[in-house]
Amino acid sequence: MSEIISHGGFRVGSGRKKLEPTKVIRVPESRILEIKDYLNKPKNEAEISNIRQIDPVTYLEIPLAVERVQAGFPSPAQDYIDQKVDLNEHLIKNANATFIVKVDSLSMLNIGIDINDELIVDRSLEAKHRDVIIACIDNELTVKRLMLEGDNHWLKAENPNFPDIHFNEGQIIEIWGVVTRVIKSFR
């Protein structure tokens, strides 16, 4: 007669603790060590400075003037305000995928992006040819114009004093998001 061996079954204290629901995520095999290193970093160590998540709960209405402002020859202006605008609705399409990053370079000066300007970046948008993007290259963030021409891809600086970024074979670029707005301070 053969003996039946039973494995498993319920044992007190065994198995996964059910503290909260878990979820399986997929990551590229080439990034596993980098992700493990990131997860093991001390929590007080700053990963990237000057990046802020948008708070979609804030609600602020600002008056919207009906008349447009002339940039050339002045014309009589109307002091008439017809409606109000919520800046979240006006500036942000997808609040959960939007963040603000502060610029620390003059590489995009010729399109009006200067040091200390704040960029509104939407991670939910698919980057297209000539979009201004935030990219991570070799663990460094940069803001550049994405150029896609056939099989040739590069990041274009909008200042002749800065080089364009052409990729080496095997080099990985991670697009963090598409710049949708620039916030400038004049004072």
Would you please indicate which residues are annotated as catalytic (active-site) residues?
Answer: 107, 144
Q: Are the C-beta atoms of residues 132 and 147 closer than 8 Å to each other? A: no
Q: Distance between CA 159 and CA 106 in Å, rounded? A: 7
How far is residue 91's CA from residue 110's CA, in Å, rounded to a whole number? Answer: 23
Does the CA dihedral 174-176-178-182 come out positive or negative?
negative
Nearest CA-CA partner of 171 in 142, 140, 143, 137:
137
R_g of the chain, CA atoms, integer Å: 25
Question: Can you read off the two tokens belonging to residue 99?
Answer: 């963040």
- Which residues is 179 bridged to in the sheet? 121
For 121-158, b/e burial (b = at least 16 CB within 10 A) is: bbeebebeeebbbbbeeeeeebbbbbbeeeeeeebbbb
